Amino acid sequence: MAGDEGTLATTAEVLLAIGQNGSAAQILEANTNIWVKWAEGEMSALANRDLVANVASISTNYKRWFAVVAANRAAWWGINQNQNSWQLATTQSKLNVLDESWQTFRDLVGDKNVDILDTVGL
């Protein structure tokens, strides 16, 4: 591996979220790095805080939660990039599972939810 370029999640975490039998494009590190950056940007925009720049301020337990959300969101982008890697039902199931963590993040952090962001150290 050339090196992870994401801050909140690693390529390995994205690959775990994509699961077995990902396409060559889905498991390419250059792509996972892009998808992690997209996820980090979305998360930061939703939180109305630069989560990447402020990662040192996030408590350790919550860093793991952010890593799961970022990896799952990046995997969601990857699976959407090539939905032909699996049968349609499997693809839709994967997308639904990955989207669940994103929806939870949106519910907890969205609408400028200061309470949760204060709790995580932001």
Instruction: Work out the pLDDT band at 67, boundaries 50, 70, 90.
Output: very high
Q: Is residue 5 part of a domain?
A: no
Indicate yes or no: pTM above 0.75. yes
Q: Is residue 61 part of a domain?
A: yes
Q: Is residue 2 part of a domain?
A: no
Q: Is residue 66 part of a domain?
A: yes
Residue-range definition of the domain harbouring residue 40: 11-120
Q: Is residue 3 part of a domain?
A: no
Give the chain's domain count. 1
Three-state SS letters, the chain: CCCCCCCCCCHHHHHHHHCCCCCHHHHCHHHHHHHHHHHHHHHHHHHCCCCCCCHHHCCHHHHHHHHHHHHHHHHHHHHHHCHHHCCHHHHHHHHHHHHHHHHHHHHHHCCCCHHHHHHHCC
Between these two residues, 31 and 83, which has the higher pLDDT value?
A: 31
Write the pLDDT tens digit of every residue in 30-56: 999 999 999 999 999 888 888 898 888
Q: Is residue 6 part of a domain?
A: no
